[in-house]
Structure 1
Amino acid sequence: MDSLTLMNSLWVMLGAILVIFMQAGFILLEAGSTRMKNAGHIAGKTVFTFGIASIVFWAVGYGFIFGKNGNFFVGMSDFFYSGYEIDGLSLSTSVFFVFQLAFAGVSLAIAFAGFAERAKLSVYLIFSVLFTALVYPVVAHWIWGGGWLSEHGKQDFAGSTVVHLTGAMAALAATILLKPRIGKYNKDGSVNNIYGHNQVYTALGVLILWVGWFGFNAGSTITVEDGFFGFVALNTNLAAGAGAVSALIISWIAGGKADIPTMLNGALAGLVAITASCAFVDTWAAVVIGLIAGILVYFSMKFFDKVKIDDPIYCLSVHGVAGVWGTLSTGFFATPELATIGNPGLFYGGGFTQLGVQALGVFTSGLYAFVVSFVILAVMKKLLNGLRVTEEEEMIGLDLSEHGVYGYPEAFESNEQKLGS
């Protein structure tokens, strides 16, 4: 192995580790944004569903994405990946496999945000298998594995569509079928805020995700040659900062208070939005992309509440709406020098060609992820006698009903003792 291949392998392995560690960020973000009685359940299901995704991705997911004997729709080889190396590749193929596995795990974690606080544990188990086998790999093949969208020049450097929109559309299917949490909406249509139990956890989760995103985006360069990963990291950070600032300001102006959860979601929205375009746009455009993402996330959060779609972690706004915007943004801002895939954007003389390709990719990928996820969950709902825990189980919390012990047993025991006395 020559020195460049070794350095590339080390760099991408570091990226894979950062992306896998994003699961810790999802644990803190989701647990902090929901109620104490479900915290242990959220932490545990995140770990075991990533374990399931790892096995399924090894068995079929990687082959469906990158299999050589495939077609425009899906790959059809390289199943049960054995760790072989491909001659001439500029990094270890095994490292590349782990890197891609980490991305699949993130998309699944995003999808599960739409299940929060009300889905049965068995639903997580079965959906992990089917999403990692039938939903995520197909969209990934279309764009990254030589499928039909890649042939059209679809630009999605690190996954605003492949990872984030795909996960968000699965989450949308889940929220529709599971219906809102008990007490979220009143009969008159008014909304009750169900606050998360720990904003510090939420903020720490966002910061972990922010750091992990450097593996996500900068690691997707797949090489250390010419140091381009630094430019990608710069764009990533600028967009995240811009998203946090714009979301905080718009919440302050519109609501009269600087809302912390909105600010945190703005940072994530900036990160999601720049994920597609981080290698294709100039730094000033990264700031604009992040600023717009932060504004969009605020208004979309309000919209989904208005139409009574209960999205506890605001996954649809952060990963769905921002994922759409981020994907479309390259159609405006991609520069002739950086657009190594597809064409320059509208503002650089490329006309509407690339914007049309991006819109086509958003529509078809989002539709596929939603429809297939909806069908899977609808069939599961019938076979499992429902996707949702009972009303009593939801009221006492999934920690106790699904696992037999609270994530904070001392806190609940203390309250029970007080009530008993």
Structure 2
Amino acid sequence: MDLARIRADFPILRQRVHGKPLVYLDNAASVQKPKAVIDAIGECYGGYYANIHRGVHLLSERSTSAYEGAREKVRAFLNAASVQEIIFTRNATESINLVASSFGSQRIGAGDEIVITGMEHHSNIVPWQLLCERSGATLKVVPFTDAGELILEEYERLLDSGRVKLVAFVHLSNALGTINPVKTLIELAHARGIPVLVDGAQSVPHLAVDVRELDCEFYAFSSHKIYGPSGVGVLYGKKALLEAMPPYQGGGDMIQMVTFEKTEYADLPNKFEAGTPNIAGVIGLGAALDWLNAIGLDAVAAHEHDLLEYATPRLNEIPGLKIMGTARDKAALAAFTMQGIHPHDIGTILDREGVAIRAGHHCAQPVMQRYGVPATARASFAVYNTRDEVDALVAALWKVKELFE
């Protein structure tokens, strides 16, 4: 890849932080936005913005066309069978809550079980806990090894209870970098007639996803992690399931006809998109997918894997530094602790060197509890990062160590 050309697409990367060139390694939280996305949003607001679907004037028609065009781009990106299977939400969190509230209210009751894993983001834990509180169901958790790999024997044991009505798991762990064997996990659940939701918030920027090949019932992700704007999420759902599910919210654009006695709901996907959506944000997501497709996810994955392979041994050379998550199948993310140094101190010192990382529990407190730590420092890579930036990270961590000796 032409990294210089790719980096030139990101205006924010040209700045200096505390007098040092910005090294942005907080990509698992949110990636930066290429100029194509910024321009698409500006063009929408400056050139043709209007509310969608309802207007017959030119601006509304142009906005509707761009908005629905972005839906087709998402469908193609995931290889979904129909645009009716693509629901726009605010983020992956809302997508999961939609399934928990709508699908869950229909299918899950007292005595039933929901299976998740021990490496989930809070967004794939709390909605199921709330559903269990409402329904009387029980949440079951698949453990993982010290390396950060799921224990498949325990997964199968939980599935064999005969009471499991849904499985929900993360495709790629934001706290460990583990890439889970999603195809195998789905097949094991389907062999027992159990539907599956996959949290793909971390995976879509790094891995090609084909929902028909995976055969999952639901797949959720957020725009802001895939070079698009914040405030937009996607829920893929199999059409037959979405058609059978009740609406998540009520209001404008999700209706066919309303009287005081009864409401008839709109067809998919509108049934699950109540109210005026983030029109420019969805259009920005479409631009982000165009930009990413032009590079190619295979090229992105190869570049990021190279960064991980380069960074891991260099990080391991620092005395007292311990990487959390050493799965055999792992994405370009390194979460670590340094003996005797709090992760927040690591993050603060690195910031003074121009290096932006994440320090904390990463909305995955059960993972921290599994390793017996309050938090970790996390460096996460994206397509625009370089080996020179890995060198800057390592040099800054050596400074951290020197300051605390």
* Interval containing the TM-score (normalised by the shorter chain): under 0.3
Q: Which has the greater radius of gyration?
A: 2
* TM-score when normalising by structure 2: 0.27
- Please report the TM-score for the alignment, with normalisation by the length of structure 1: 0.26
Kindly indicate which of the two structures has a greater share of residues assigned to helix: 1
Q: Which structure is higher in strand share?
A: 2
